[in-house]
Amino acid sequence: MTPAKEQTSPDHPSNREVSLSDSTQEIMSQNLWLKILIGMIVGIAAGMVLSPEGLAVLETETAYAAGEWLALPGVIFLGLIQMVIVPLIVCSIILGIAEGGDLGFVKSISLRIVPYFIFTTAISITIGIALVNIVQPGLLVDQTLIESVMSSGAAAGRVPGQTFEDLTIPERIANIIPTNPAKASVDRNMLQLVVASILIGIALITIPKATGKVFKDLCIAGQVLSMKVIAWAMAIAPYAVFGLLCNITIRLGFSAITSVGAYMLTVLGGLFCVLILYLILIAVFTKTSPLSYLNAIREVQLLAFSTSSSAATMPFSIQAAEEKLKTRPKISRFIIPLGATINMDGTALYQGVAAVFLCQVFGIDLTLTETVLLIVTTVGASIGTPATPGVGLVVLATILTGIGVPAEGIALIIGVDRILDMCRTTVNVTGDLTATKIMDKWVPDTQA
Ligand code: ASP
């Protein structure tokens, strides 16, 4: 940044745009996705060479220790993203609303986008649950693998614990207001943080501009600084992906991955169906050719795939929406930060498939009511899932407890989680871009 730029106000548009686009350009211009893909392939290959269950070129203990060291850049990468996810999302949502300018716009867009998000998420889970019931991958899992998971402490059958009935609906609704925003950020309760950010954003447009200026400047600084840290994280992303995949392959061996192959294919098939659904929506509602749409968002999809983080990809999605899809900034800057946190169709589908898959593995039959409750809970869970790598799996544990499946069953699917995470994040990000394009068409010019 030049000294001249530094002297102007931080919310001077050119200043902020330059800073944000410096960070994004830095990353996009270096074929980062290609390096990450190479890291992924080499990571799995190296893991197979080192794994005691693979070529076993090292003693088991040495291989595990090597895996831990190799995974270090990955742990740092995840740490950097997690470090800034709360300020990045909170500042972006507040600014998205505050810069939208007027209450009429916020109301008009919210009335459309919230039902749209809920509807597409519910459709995705339904596709997933239908597919997993047709394919029944849970019945194809190797019995010895199930036994080893069960002997590691998990009991078969239903476990007592929190059930759907434990929280009443009024309690759940009351729970979305963060009575203690600091606690919400410590707990990473994204839904509460989103609600708080929306309220603050709305408050900012209703108070005199001069009064809110300092706070708005703070949010701009928070957003720009978070992006800088993301840019640093991205610089080590290829090594991170290499190390994380290598370490997991060393520990689990390739056979643990292939034994849940049918489950993986079910998730991937479901994600593919959701992608097709987006293309249909784009063709029908925006009259854009699906191929040119895919072409415009290809780089962002590859970044989402390689980083497994909707939050880290968010600034690039905004850039692609504005520059390639030609959507209005008011729309993209409102929808993409919001969508990155609450619109996770890929994660929802994955959580639905994984839950039913584990029910099949443990011989638990879900009644129709339980399936409907599973869909409702998964919509809620995917909304609350933070947009960082791997958390969809953690949130899945809560869903499993809700339907009485031993959470230890997760051990069965953890080996393939990284790869599925990459794919579901791609769908999550595509979903946000699709929503932006459609809303750009739906929200009239006068209001936006
Ligand atoms: N990694 C996903 C995302 O950022 C969330 C998840 O499903 O783990 O969109």
pLDDT (0 to 100) of residue 264: 93
Looking at residue 385, its pLDDT comes to 74
Q: In a 3-state reduction of DSSP, which class is residue 54?
A: coil
User: Residue 166 has what DSSP assignment?
Assistant: G
Query: What is the distance of C-alpha 284 from the center of its chain?
Result: 26
Specify the ligand 1 atom closest to the Cα of 346.
Answer: 7
Please name the residues in contact with 382: beta carbons below 8 A apart, sequence gap of 6 or more.
121, 125, 344, 345, 347, 348, 351, 392, 395
Helix, strand, coil share of the chain (percent; to 5): 80, 0, 20
For residue 312, the model assigns a pLDDT of 85
Give burial (CB, 10 Å; 0-12/13-18/19+) of 165. exposed
How much is the pLDDT for 288?
Answer: 93
How far away, in angstroms, is 24 Cα from ligand 1 center?
A: 20
> Residue 17's pLDDT is what?
61
- pLDDT tens by residue, 375-402: 888 887 777 777 777 778 877 877 787 7
**Alpha carbon nearest to ligand 1 atom 8, residue:** 392
Residue 129 CA, distance from chain mean position: 20
Give the helix ranges, DSSP H, for 136-236: 143-151, 169-174, 181-186, 190-206, 209-235
Domains of the chain with bracketed CATH? 4-447 (1.10.3860.10)
Residue 393 CA: nearest ligand 1 atom is: 8
Q: Please, which contacts does 100-105 make with residues 24 or more away whose CB atoms are closer than 8 Å? A: 100/205, 100/330, 100/333, 100/334, 100/448, 101/205, 101/330, 102/205, 103/202, 103/205, 103/206, 104/447, 105/330, 105/443, 105/447, 105/448
In tens digits, the chain (448 residues) has pLDDT values of: 333 344 444 445 456 666 666 666 666 566 777 888 888 889 989 988 888 877 777 888 888 899 899 999 988 988 888 888 888 888 988 988 888 767 888 888 889 998 999 999 999 999 999 999 999 998 887 776 676 666 654 444 444 444 444 567 777 677 778 888 888 888 777 778 888 898 999 999 899 989 999 999 999 999 889 888 888 888 888 898 899 888 888 877 766 667 788 999 999 999 999 999 999 999 999 999 999 999 999 989 988 987 888 988 888 899 999 999 999 998 999 999 999 988 999 999 999 999 999 999 888 888 888 888 888 888 877 777 777 777 788 778 777 877 777 777 777 787 788 889 999 999 999 999 999 999 999 887 654 4
**Residues lining ligand 1, Cβ inside 6 A:** 308-310, 344, 347, 385, 387-392, 421, 424-425, 428
Helix axes 417-442, 103-135, angle to 10 degrees: 140
Nearest atom (ligand 1) to Cα of 340: 9
CA distance 184 to 178: 6
Q: Compute the distance from residue 429 Cα to the ligand 1 centre, in Å.
A: 9
Using the atom order of ligand 1, give the atom closest to the CA of residue 394: 8
pLDDT at 4: 38
State residue 335's pLDDT score.
Answer: 93
Contacts of 225 (CB under 8 A, 6+ apart): 84, 87
Q: What is the pLDDT of residue 112?
A: 92
Rounded to whole angstroms, the Cα distance separating 410 from 188 reads 21
Which pLDDT does position 177 carry in this prediction? 84
CA of 144 to the centre of ligand 1 (A): 30
The residue whose CB lies within 8 Å of the most ligand 1 atoms, and thus the one to mutate among 124, 347, 395, 423, is 347
Query: Closest ligand 1 atom, CA of 350?
Result: 7
pLDDT at 57: 79
Ligand 1 pocket test: pick from 378, 424, 433 the residue with the most ligand atoms within 8 Å of its Cβ.
424
